Structure 1
Amino acid sequence: MRGGEPPAPARPPWVAHTLAGVLIVTVVVDLLGNLLVILSVSRNKKLRNAGNIFVVSLAIADLVVAIYPFPLVLTSIFHNGWNLGYIHCQISGFLIGLSVIGSIFNITGIALNRYCYICHSLKYDKLYSDKNSLCYVILIWVLTFAAIVPNLFVGSLQYDARIYSCTFSQSVSSAYTIAVVFFHFMFPIAIVTFCYLRIWILVIQVRRRVKPDNNPKLKPHDFRNFVTMFVVFVLFAVCWAPLNFIGLAVAVNPETVIPRIPEWLFVSSYYMAYFNSCLNAVIYGLLNQNFRREYKRIILSICTAKGFFQESSNDAAERNKSKPSPLVTNNNLVNVDSV
């Protein structure tokens, strides 16, 4: 794609308006929500743990598309075609792929973390020390870059007028498309499914009191945190499965399948996948009490224009609790500060 790009197919005006509206909502919620996630973890001591390192990494993966590729897609919608040149097209497609693969790899990392925490809790602290967790996140991003770089050499990042986007072209190479769907979607999904099935089995054992004695008791907040991340996984799988199955069908028999795929289905599958990037932060706020409380504190801090860069009230409270209370004994009176 080096010259002028063909315009989008002739459609009623409401189609472009709808796609633009969906993308604008996605970008706004993505930016605000994932910034709230990162700020919440950095401000709240209760949220600063090994598991949430992966949550922050996932938020960064979601932010990537909102900062650069999606605004370019919006520009393409408004101009009814790509007019930003070859380099921007390649960068946009590369970053979309980076975000998608980074998301599924981080979701896999979260699932493995939850699996070790709940099913192998006696080994968890050793496996997920702060240093080890940081190394795991770095490994995730190294693998993500390694997975997306081949696209630059096989010419698979192309502009598609149907979706106004520079993205992975499913019809460039059947073998490569099958490999992408398997290693970047199906295989990670299989790992995550295994982890969460094992966790659900343990949860059922705890509820029925047939849990093995060598596993510590499953606490209520552990279960709530697990449910939160399980919902994140399910939504990702639901949003991205249609596009991956279409890609797999195209790769197996492109001549027969491509003409039979309705345009509305192809476009809907893409924008449903795009929309997933803004959902995670909403899920944390709905299902995780600590995130919800920190969201409210951050928003109130911004609205009142004070205390935004100060530590969370939870951290301050914890620090105050750790201070010894000064005792003043005079005439048999005792004054205890900060009760």
Structure 2
Amino acid sequence: MEPRNQTAPSKFLLLGLTDNPALQPLVFSLFLSMYLVTVLGNLLIVLAVSSDSHLHTPMYFFLCNLSLNDVCMSTTMIPKMLVSIQTQDQSISYAGCLAQACFVVCFVVLENFLLAIMAYDRYVAICHPLRYTVLMNSCLCVLLVLVSLCISILDALMHGLMLLRLSFCTHLEIPHFFCELTQVLRLACSDTLLDNILIYVVVLIFGGMPLSGIIFSYVRIVSSVLRTPSSEGKQKAFSTCGSHLSVVSLFYGTALGVYISSAVTNSPRKMAVASVMYSVVPPMLNPFIYSLRSRDMKGAVGKLTSRMTSLL
């Protein structure tokens, strides 16, 4: 009996990272810990920046937006996975699956833009220090974030509308811990050529352009710093970029690792495990990278934690 096409299936099944029942408690504990660290760490960054007037600068304004985006991205994926493990119910509704796929796309695209904006901010600060406050004024900073957010939302809506036109077969198992866009497309019975073309175009534009901007910014930064005669000036300039460069390397490095692993393995379950490295790990580590590498941020976090401890 051939599978029957249906335009709107009632639910999908998220198979998760493993089908071994003995490993489910370990996966639950691990991801719960990672989620709590991600939320608490990034919210601590936001509170520390908000409470310290010395950190009310464009660089930390963008950092707050990056932290909020990381919290949203993790919240889109991990809680549903934890509930599924706890209740032993792997199902997710059709609407919920499409919404999750669109939200993940939105936050990933926004992450790309925010990292590019932060690279531009460092470029202006190092290469044009005397004009920094004029070029990176508050109106421009807010506008850059809002435009990035609008583009990310429009991109997610475009993918969502493309998914709505597809019909799906009765075999609706997703070998992943969240509804990843490409995995959902593989379950469609109708032609997905336009959807795949759209994905490649979006990755090229909204992934390639921010990455190109980051590379261009750091090429200009390095060339400017190398012309600085003072070794102390060079060290100070590189130290202001160290945290951002570490976050960029982590985000794009893990994404590249997932792409390479997809090329060498045909196991969807292994791909799901590999995708944890770009979807869950960077949002968790970003607060630690900025807290440990930035002296100002370390001081602000220390003051905030001391104040919260004294209140308790």
Q: 1:205 aligns with which of 215, 227, 234?
A: 227
Aligned to 1:128: 136
Q: Aligned partners of 2:242, 2:14: CA distance in 1, in Å?
A: 44
1:296 aligns with 2:302: yes
State whether structure 2 residue 199 is matched by structure 1 residue 177.
yes
Q: Report the equivalent of 2:244.
A: 229
Q: Is the 8 A contact 1:76 1:164 kept in 2?
A: no
Relative distance call for 1:147 and 1:71 in structure 2 (3 A) is same
The Cα offsets for residues 181-222 of structure 1, whole Å up to 9 and x where unpaired, read as 21232332122112112212222222588xxxxxxx947544
Distance in 2, Cα, partners of 1:84 & 1:303: 40
CA contact (8 A) 1:97 1:148 kept: yes
3-state SS of the aligned residue for 2:12? coil
1:314 matched residue in structure 2 = none
Report the Cα offset of residue 56 of structure 1. 1.0
1:239–1:279 CA distance, 2 compared to 1 (3 A): same
Residue 167 of structure 1 pairs with residue 180 of structure 2: yes
Q: Which has the higher contact order (CA 8 A, sep 6+)?
A: 2
What's the TM-score, normalizing by structure 1? 0.75
2:180 aligned counterpart, secondary structure: strand
Task: State the alpha-carbon separation in 2 of the partners of residues 161 and 21 from structure 1.
Answer: 22
* Alpha-carbon distance change, 6 to 62 in structure 1, aligned in 2, over 3 angstroms: closer
Aligned match of 1:277:
283
Alpha-carbon distance in 1 for matches of 2:288, 2:229: 29
* Aligned-CA RMSD value: 2.9
TM-score by length of 2: 0.81
Cα distance in 2 for residues equivalent to 1:49 and 1:139: 19
User: What is residue 287 of structure 1 aligned with on the other side?
Assistant: 293
More helix by share: 2
Q: Which amino acid aligns with 1:263?
A: P
Unaligned runs of 5+ in 1: 210-216, 250-256, 307-339
Q: Distance in 2 between matches of 1:160 and 1:232?
A: 33
Please name the residue that 1:146 is paired with: 154
Quick one: distance in 2 between partners of 1:70 and 1:77? Answer: 11
**More deviation in 81-90 or 33-42?**
81-90
Q: Determine whether 1:3 maps to 2:10.
A: yes
In the other structure, the counterpart of 1:239 is 254
How far apart in 1 are the matches of 2:117 and 2:22?
Answer: 40
Query: Matched residues in 2 for 1:50 and 1:4: separation?
Result: 44
Letter in 2 for 1:180: V
Distance 1:201 1:280 in 2: 27
Indicate yes or no: 2:69 matched with 1:56. no
In 1, the alpha carbon distance for the partners of 2:230 and 2:58 equals 29
Q: Structure 1: how far apart are the matches of 2:180 and 2:268?
A: 16
Distance in 1 of aligned mates of 2:250 and 2:241: 14
Using the TM superposition, name which of 200-209 and 97-106 deviates more: 200-209
Contact 2:12-2:173 within 8 A present in 1 as well: no
In the comparison of the two structures, how many residue pairs are matched?
289
Distance 1:160 1:294 in 2: 46
**Given the superposition, is the C-alpha separation of residues 293 and 123 from structure 1 closer, same or farther in structure 2, using an over 3 Å criterion?**
closer
From 20, 27, 30, give the equivalent of 2:35. Answer: 27
Per mean C-alpha deviation after superposition, the further-off stretch among 84-93 and 25-34 is 84-93
Describe the SS at the equivalent of 1:297.
helix
Amino acid at match of 1:179: V
SS in 2 for 1:165: coil
Aligned to 1:265: 270
User: 1:30 & 1:118 partners in 2: Cα distance?
Assistant: 30
Partner of 2:91: 83
CA displacement at 1:239 relative to structure 2: 1.9
- Per the alignment, residue 209 of structure 2 pairs with 187
Give secondary structure in 2 for the equivalent of 1:149: helix
Q: Which moved more, 1:199-208 or 1:48-57?
A: 199-208
